Copies of this chain bind each other. A is one copy, B any other.
Amino acid sequence: MMSKKNVTKVILDETEIPRQWYNIVADMPNKPAPYYSPMTGKIATADDMAAIFPKEIIEQEMTSERFIDIPDEVREMYAQWRPSPLYRAKGLEKVLDTPARIYYKYEGTNATGSHKLNSSIPQAYYNKNAGIKRLSTETGAGQWGSALSLASNHFGMECTVYMVNVSYQQKPYRRSFMHTFGANVIASPSNLTNSGRSILEKDPECSGSLGIAISEAVEDAATHSDTNYALGSVLNHVCLHQTIIGQEAKKQLEMIDEYPDVVFACCGGGSNFAGAAFPFLMDRFKGKKVRAVAVEPTACPTLTKGVFAYDYGDTAKAAPIAKMYTLGHDFIPEGIHAGGLRYHGASSIVSQLYNDGIIEAQSCGQKEVFDAAVTFARAEGIVPAPESSHAIRAAIDEALKAKEEGREQVILFNLSGHGYFDFSAYDSYFGGKLENIHYDEQAVKASIANLPDIKG
Binding site for B on A (CB under 8 A): 8-9, 11, 13-14, 76, 79-80, 87, 91, 109-111, 113, 150, 153-154, 172-173, 176-177, 179-182, 374, 377-378, 380-383, 420-421, 423-424, 426-427, 430
Cβ–Cβ < 8 Å partners of A381 in chain B: 80, 110-111, 150, 154
Contact A180 B11 (CB under 8 A): no
Q: Smallest CB-CB separation from A378: which chain B residue?
A: B153
Task: Give the complex CA separation of A371 and B378 in angstroms.
Answer: 36
- Say yes or no: B11 contacts A374, CB within 8 Å: no
**Which residue of B has the minimal Cβ distance to A419?**
B180
Check if A420 sits within 8 Å of B423, measured CB to CB: no
Chain B residues with CB under 8 A of A382 = 111
A58 to chain B, nearest CB (A): 27
B113 near A383 with CB under 8 A, answer: no
Which residue of the partner chain B has the closest CB to A172?
A: B423
Q: Enumerate chain B residues within 8 angstroms of A177, measured Cβ to Cβ.
A: 383, 423
Known: A113-B420, A381-B80. A176 touches B426 (CB 8 A): yes
Question: Quick one: copies of this chain in the complex?
Answer: 2
Q: How far is the CA of A181 from the CA of B91 in the complex (A)?
A: 14
Given contacts A9-B14, A382-B111, A426-B179, contact A420 B173 (CB under 8 A): yes
Say whether A8 contacts B423, CB under 8 Å. no
| In the complex, chain B residues whose CB is within 8 Å of the CB of A150 | 381
Complex contact A374–B423 (CB within 8 A): no
Other than the known A111-B383, A179-B426, A420-B420, what 18 A-B pairs have Cβ atoms closer than 8 Å? Answer: A9-B80, A11-B11, A11-B13, A11-B14, A111-B382, A113-B420, A153-B378, A172-B423, A173-B173, A176-B423, A176-B426, A177-B423, A179-B430, A180-B374, A180-B423, A180-B426, A181-B378, A420-B421
Complex interface: chain B residues within 8 A of A424 (CB): 173, 176
Alpha-carbon distance between A113 and B380 when the two chains are bound, in angstroms: 15
Residue of B nearest to A78 (CB): B8
Q: A173's contact among B181, B377, B380, B423, by CB below 8 Å, is which?
A: B423
The 5 closest A-B pairs by CB, nearest first: A176-B423, A173-B423, A420-B420, A8-B79, A111-B381
B181 contacts A377, C-beta separation under 8 Å: yes
What are 24 contact pairs spanning A and B, CB under 8 A? A8-B14, A8-B76, A9-B79, A11-B11, A80-B380, A80-B381, A91-B154, A110-B381, A111-B381, A111-B382, A111-B383, A150-B381, A172-B423, A172-B427, A173-B424, A176-B423, A176-B424, A176-B427, A177-B383, A179-B426, A179-B427, A180-B377, A180-B430, A420-B420
Determine which residue in A109, A150, A378, A381 has the highest number of CB atoms from chain B within 10 A of its CB, and name it.
Answer: A381
